[in-house]
Structure 1
């Protein structure tokens, strides 16, 4: 069951990436990020209020947000700091790079998760899983050569380093999620609510330094329908992902790889919508990544 939940998470993540590209194009990154997280927070806020006013009903429908000790708040705050840094880097990179380059690089995230799962959680891959993961990494390297044809030098472009850093931080957060869900026994909606809350606080601090004091930057910001859509789609994807992690049999290394099937939406649909170059050539490494995911699922 957890694999199917992972595929649902991938579906909503793919749609989330398309909306995110639309939201950041020619726009200020930090307020866009604050807007998306705030939209996700408002989506979950009724569950929190319902858990206070009518806890029995919220427990009945499965969306009860539990009370947690301050130490657990501290652990969630750490996740918020990790993901805030990852999103800042990712949004900046997405603003300056084609979505058909950014998304495949982020698809290397399962490799970092894979290594962490082996050493931290002692998850044991079989030979087919090894092949699948290295096939994903090889396919990402193919994307780097295609990127050079679009004027993107992977060794000198700072936005490439930004998206690589974002990918590493995102993978670290994925490993941390398993600890929060399984070791601390957090349910998805409780984790999502407090995660959004603390991330908004972090972003407000960043914006108070980099954006709020500057009138020209505030005027340059353009609100688009895709900004709240990004937050709503992300929280929906995270809910299915966290539900999958609640299964004690769920392997974070495989779940992380399954989520990368979102690349199908980003490369095929995104390439058509944003009219990016070399779409046909990008289908070759795309096939490699999908084959890697298939080998993991098949194994």
Structure 2
């Protein structure tokens, strides 16, 4: 069952990436990110209110937000700091790079998760899993060669380094999610609500220094329908992902790889909607990534 939940998470993540590209294109990154988080928090707010005023009904519906001690709030705040850093780097990179370059580099995240799952959680890969993961990494390298034809030189482009750093931080957060869900027993909606809340606080501090005081930056911001769509789709993806992690038999290395199937939406539809270059050439490494994912599922 947890694999099917992972596929649902991948579906919503793919749609989320398309909306995110629309939201940040020629726009101010930080207020876009803040807007998506506020939208996500507003989506979860009825569950928080229901948990306090109608606890039995909310519990029966399966959406209770737990009362948690200060220590658990601290653990969630750590996740919020990791993901805020990852998002800021990723959004800035997405603003300056084609989606069909960003999405495949992000697909290298399972490799970092794979290593962490082995050393931290003692998850043991099979031969097919080894082949699948290295095929994904090799396919990302092929994307870098396609990227050069679009004037994107990977060694000298700072946004490439930004998206790689964002990918590493995102993978670290994914490993941390297993600890939060399985080890300290947070349910998905509790983690999502407080995670959004703390991310908003962190971003408000950052924006109060680098964005709010600057009139020209405020005027450059454009509100778009895709901003709340990004927040809502991300919460749906996270919900199914965290539900999958609740299963004690779930493997974080496999879930991380399954989520990469979002690339079908991000690369194919993204290439069509945003009219990005070299779409056909990018299908070759895309096929390599999907074969890698298939090998992991097969194993």
- TM over 0.5, shorter chain: yes
SS of 1:276 mapped into structure 2: coil
Could you tell me which residue of structure 2 aligns to residue 105 of structure 1?
A: 105
SS of structure 2 residue aligned to 1:241: helix
**Residue equivalent to 2:178:** 178
Aligned length: 299
Aligned to 1:201: 201
Deviations 1:58-94 (A, max 9, x none): 0000000010000000000000000000000000000
Matched, 1:234 2:261: no
Alignment of 1:87-236 (within 5 A): 87-236=87-236
- Distance in 1 of aligned mates of 2:282 and 2:214: 40
Q: Using the alignment, how far apart are the partners of 1:182 and 1:296 within structure 2?
A: 23
- TM-score with structure 2 length normalisation? 1.00
Counterpart mapping for 1:1-16 below 5 A: 1-16=1-16
Deviation per CA, 1:193-238, whole angstroms, max 9, x where unpaired?
A: 0000000000000000010001111011000000000000000000
1:49 match: 49
Q: RMSD across aligned C-alpha pairs, in angstroms?
A: 0.3
- The CA deviation string for residues 15-54 of structure 1, in whole angstroms up to 9 with x for no partner, is 0000000000000000000000110000000000000000
Match of 2:259 in 1: 259
* Aligned 1:24-103 pairs, distance under 5 A: 24-103=24-103
1:13-24 equivalences in 2 (<5 Å):
13-24=13-24
CA distance in 2, matches of 1:37, 1:291: 33
SS at match of 1:27: coil
Misfit runs of 4+, over 4 Å: none
Cα distance between partner residues in 1 of 2:215 and 2:98: 29
1:251, CA displacement in angstroms? 0.2
Task: Tell me if 1:286 matches 2:252.
Answer: no
C-alpha distance in 2, partners of 1:109/1:13? 14
Q: Which runs of 5+ in 1 are unaligned?
A: none
- 1:176: Cα distance to partner? 0.1
Which structure 2 residue ranges, 5 or more long, are not aligned? none
Separation of aligned partners in 2, 1:126 and 1:249: 16
| Counterpart Cα distance in 2 of 1:77 and 1:221 | 28
Alignment partners' CA distance in 2, 1:298 and 1:77: 36
Distance 2:158 2:107 in 1: 19
Q: Distance in 1 between matches of 2:213 and 2:278?
A: 41
